Amino acid sequence: MQFSQVPCLLALFTLTSWAQVTPPFDPSPLDILGTIDSMTLNAAGGPLAGGTITVDGILFTVPQNTLATLPALAVAWGELFTGGVANLPGGVSWEAHVVGNRVNGQNIAGLVYISQKAAQVLDGFITSINIATGHFFVGTGTGIECVINDPTGRYGLPYTANPLWASDPDNPSIHATSGFPVCIPRSANDPLCPAKNRPIDPATGKPAQVMYDPATLTATDPDPRLMVPLAVGDYIIFTGTRVSGGLMTINALNANLGLFTAPGT
């Protein structure tokens, strides 16, 4: 008798499990992280038009007025498209994190985050800097060729090829560990990224780390109102987007430098 009850119990368990597949609530929440299969734009919807995004085979409707969050910017859905084609450079797969609701069997996006590799963080020492191009190399051997993605030229020479995936020019995403903004010199005598802001401490032979009080500055003193130039040998942690040719266009950088302003400034 005990053995005859087992199939009945299994059947009951199976039926109960299948009965729970249908969400018990409508609407019900969704939170998906995966690879973007496709994106579309409702071209007739105006500047704040919506569209669709498919992530790992799951189709979402992107409502009108939705803003997509990129690594350092937030943009209208339509700004992600050029000529109706999604602007996802690099010729590689891209990722999306979509948070929304399932309503009447339809997936509706509420929050959309898009990046090339959300979990990628790179690091290394700067081995060379080309001030004529703003490009620099990180790491040993051939290293990684990098450029700060900076359409406005806030941190160095402008890089305008992929403005959607740029650094933040106003809330500095290119900075030292202490939060002080850093830059790549545009020339040997760049007034906005001056060499005087990386003076050598004669006692240690290493760059000095304390900025002077602006009220007492001389012409040759480090100026805390200006950025500090990155230099060969600096250790940096960074994220960005790879584009054709393997160039890493950086949107966030943390240089292992302790840069401090004078007390009270």
First to last CA, the chain: 86
CA distance 216 to 117: 46
pLDDT band at 261 (very low <50, low <70, confident <90, very high): confident
Q: Which amino acid is at 258?
A: G
CA distance 61 to 104: 13
How crowded is residue 62: how many other Cβ atoms within 10 Å of its Cβ? Answer: 24
**Could you give the angle at the alpha carbon of 189 between the alpha carbons of 187 and 194, nearest 5°?**
100
Each residue of 51-98: pLDDT tens digit? Answer: 999 999 999 999 999 999 999 889 999 999 998 899 998 888 999 999
Distance of CA 165 to the CA centre of its chain: 7
Each residue of 147-156: pLDDT tens digit? Answer: 999 999 999 9
Q: Nearest 5°: phi and psi at 263?
A: -55, 135
Cα dihedral 171, 162, 89, 255 sign: negative
Tokens of 257: 């430098």
Q: Which residues of 11-37 are buried (b: 16+ CB within 10 A; e: fewer)?
A: eeeeeeeeeeeeeeeeeeebebeeebe
Task: Please classify residue 136 by burial: count the beta carbons closer than 10 Å to its beta carbon, then call 0-12 exposed, 13-18 middle and 19+ buried.
Answer: buried
Higher pLDDT, residue 72 or 146:
146
Of the candidate ranges 6-20, 29-43, 88-102, 134-148, the one whose mean pLDDT is the lowest: 6-20
CB–CB of 199/170 below 8 Å? Answer: no
Each residue of 97-128: pLDDT tens digit? Answer: 999 999 998 999 999 999 999 888 999 999 99
| pLDDT at 16 > cutoff 90 | no
| pLDDT at 173 > cutoff 70 | yes
pLDDT of residue 22: 63
Tokens of 47: 């500047």
Using the structure block, give the residue that is written with the tokens 């009945």. 8
| pLDDT at 46 > cutoff 60 | yes
Higher pLDDT, residue 231 or 214:
231
User: Can you tell me whether residue 183 is helix, strand or coil?
Assistant: strand
Q: Nearest 5°: phi and psi at 153?
A: 75, 30
| pLDDT at 5 > cutoff 70 | no
CA distance 84 to 222: 49
| pLDDT at 8 > cutoff 70 | no
Using the structure block, give the residue that is written with the tokens 């032979």. 205
| pLDDT at 9 > cutoff 50 | no
Each residue of 177-209: pLDDT tens digit? Answer: 999 999 999 999 999 999 999 887 788 777 766
How crowded is residue 227: how many other Cβ atoms within 10 Å of its Cβ? Answer: 26
pLDDT of residue 11: 42
What is the share, in percent, of the chain residues with pLDDT greater than 90? 65
Residues 6 or more apart whose Cβ sits within 8 Å of residue 146: 135, 136, 137, 138, 238, 240, 247, 248, 249, 250
The average pLDDT across 20-26 equals 66
pLDDT band at 3 (very low <50, low <70, confident <90, very high): very low
pLDDT of residue 21: 57
